[in-house]
């Protein structure tokens, strides 16, 4: 019986070496990184984050605000007058600008007597900071847009550098997300609404 007890004690006294199986842990890490990469690519395929740089869109957008841009909005719908869009600057495609769409292909845009007219109809523009102090007339051909900043007299826009090729559009401005206390959905005004 002593032998039996000694055998049991010997078995209990010997430490059992556990081998750590790293494979499930490494698979989890790989799957997590792969999912993060897929999310990153997916989010960047449908949206962009843009910093407002300057005062050309005041009072609608302020310098330093960050906005979320919907890159897919014009895949299923058309650009409308009053939309606020982000686009590659035609003169320097590395630079992105944000402006409001005023004229669509086929439109005639006229600025005179501090008012903006499209195809002879005056625009309702409650979003501008001050009336334009310039005048001009532009015919918008197919494939182009006429865009202006809401801060009419302090904006580098179509009145200065010409028409915007539609292929330069990045997307439609959707949300102000930073600073967080200014979070807001960006309104796209019907510019022909009754005044």
Among 23, 47, 56, 135, the active-site one is: 56
Residue that has been written with the tokens 């719908």 in this structure: 77
Query: What is the C-alpha to C-alpha distance for residues 188 and 154, in angstroms, rounded to an integer?
Result: 21
Query: What is the C-alpha to C-alpha distance for residues 193 and 183, in angstroms, rounded to an integer?
Result: 26
Q: Which helix (H) or strand (E) holds 74?
A: helix 73-76
Question: CB burial class (10 A; 0-12, 13-18, 19+) of residue 124?
Answer: middle
Among 23, 77, 99, 155, the active-site one is: 99
Contact 52, 66 (CB under 8 A): yes
Task: Answer yes or no: 77 catalytic.
Answer: no
Task: Answer yes or no: 99 catalytic.
Answer: yes
Structure tokens at 1: 């019986």
Catalytic center residues: 56, 99
């Amino acid at each position: 019986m002593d032998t039996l007890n000694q055998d049991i004690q010997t078995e209990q006294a010997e430490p059992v070496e556990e081998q750590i199986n790293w494979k499930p842990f490494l698979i989890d890490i790989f799957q997590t990184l792969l999912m993060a990469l897929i999310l990153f690519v997916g989010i960047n395929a449908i949206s962009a984050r843009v910093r407002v740089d300057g005062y050309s869109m005041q009072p609608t957008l302020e310098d330093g605000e960050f906005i979320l841009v919907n890159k897919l909005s014009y895949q299923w719908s058309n650009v409308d007058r009053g939309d606020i869009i982000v686009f590659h600057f035609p003169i320097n495609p590395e630079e992105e600008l944000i402006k409001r769409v005023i004229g669509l292909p086929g439109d005639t845009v006229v600025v005179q007597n501090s008012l903006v007219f499209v195809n002879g109809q005056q625009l309702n523009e409650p979003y501008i900071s001050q009336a334009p102090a310039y005048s001009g007339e532009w015919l918008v051909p197919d494939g182009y847009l006429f865009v202006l900043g809401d801060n009419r007299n302090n904006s580098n826009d179509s009145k200065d550098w010409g028409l915007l090729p539609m292929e330069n559009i990045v997307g439609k401005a959707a949300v102000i997300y930073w600073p967080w206390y200014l979070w807001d959905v960006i309104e796209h005004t019907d510019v022909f609404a009754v005044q």
